[in-house]
Structure 1
Amino acid sequence: MQLAINFVKESNNIVLYIDTKGDFSAVRIQKILEAHGLSHKDMAVIMLKIRVVYIWNIEELIRLLENIKKGVLKIENLSMIIVDSLPCLMFQHFGDNNNIGLTFLNRVINYSRYLSKELQIGFIFVNIQTRWIDQDITDPEDTESACSIKDLTYNEKRTRCLGKYWKTIPALVMVLEKLKLETNSCVTIKVLVTHHINPSAVKSCFINVSAQGVI
């Protein structure tokens, strides 16, 4: 939501916010704008530039992108599309033996690439990162006490959803990890930014998010 606000705040650009979870909050947007001391008129102008569409399955997303490509759906000054989030649509096809989910995902990527190249529309896809913990048990022999001491070691593996296919799709990857909740209800988030061509080149920063948005 903060990205959408920042994108339209000082420009005539339009953001298409695709909500797949049904949790977009216009009230949240309004509170962030109020915290920055904007007038009701200025808030209304900004909020009108954030167009919200509710999508409940990936077929609907494909039709939407197709209609934008063909000009059936015309949004003047459309410069950014935010999909929040893509795994919600893909999870519906987990377990399909015919890989239909991967076929749909491929069509979404093809349309996105076309719109990015031909119409200069940027895309932000919200993804989910999973954390897997593997437990290893070692049982070294203690010669002095003639008893065994079991040491537990835990190996953490983090994996972005949408599989290996998705790994090289995004131009930039921003990984957001919530660190702690302060007493003033401010959440500290660590942000890591990587490029798929050079994953070792990592940039990082910390941001604080409160009722006023990113502060």
Structure 2
Amino acid sequence: MTTTLITGANKGLGYETACRLIDAGHTVWMGARDQVRGQQAADALGGRFVQLDVTSDASVASAVKTIANAGGVDVLINNAGISGPFKKAAELTAEDALAVYGTNVVGVVRMTSAFVPLLRASSAPTIVNVTSGLGSFAFVHDPEWIYAKFTAPLYTSSKSAVTMLTMQYAKAFPEMRINAADPGYTATDFNGNSGTQTVREGTDAIVDLATRGGGGPTGTFIDRSGVAPF
């Protein structure tokens, strides 16, 4: 049986991903910062809760110990992320940047470094990094793209970094399948439920990558339609 860990799994894309993977037969660890909400989410789906704050070395180390003692992990889904403040570009501060990058980028590095030893013990080690088309250079330079005029310097650049981290980790760990998934503009609390896709549609690419059983390509960037430009 495949064991999967999802960060930021108590709501939105993380919760729906957990629901779909549990239905697919995975044992799913649902990571969340908030103990109460995380446990409630896991109880509702039949998952396993682990307290996990991707910005904390101590929290991540504790999660590694918990999951290692329970038998390890096959799939890591780095889903946790924040949008950052909704400000004009000229009003953004260094503190704003540190907060966004601390979760969206450094959190991926922290989780990857911490869980690589456990993943190496799996026969089908897999990492799925949840990124965004808003971080795609190809998309944002296409004047016909629906979101080409959207401006959010910190969030978009952090997701560009996540996609590049994915490519670099894929080269560094060729024995693993490491890919990036763009959910697309999905209706969740993250965007005030303004997205044009359902949460199920938004998890299609994530679930695809998480259920390949250690097969398929590595170092790719996909959305629900297939390989996407970066």
TM-score (norm 2): 0.43
Greater RCO, CA 8 A, separation 6+: 2
User: Which has the larger strand fraction?
Assistant: 1
User: Which has the larger helix fraction?
Assistant: 2
Which of these two proteins has the greater Rg computed from alpha carbons? 1
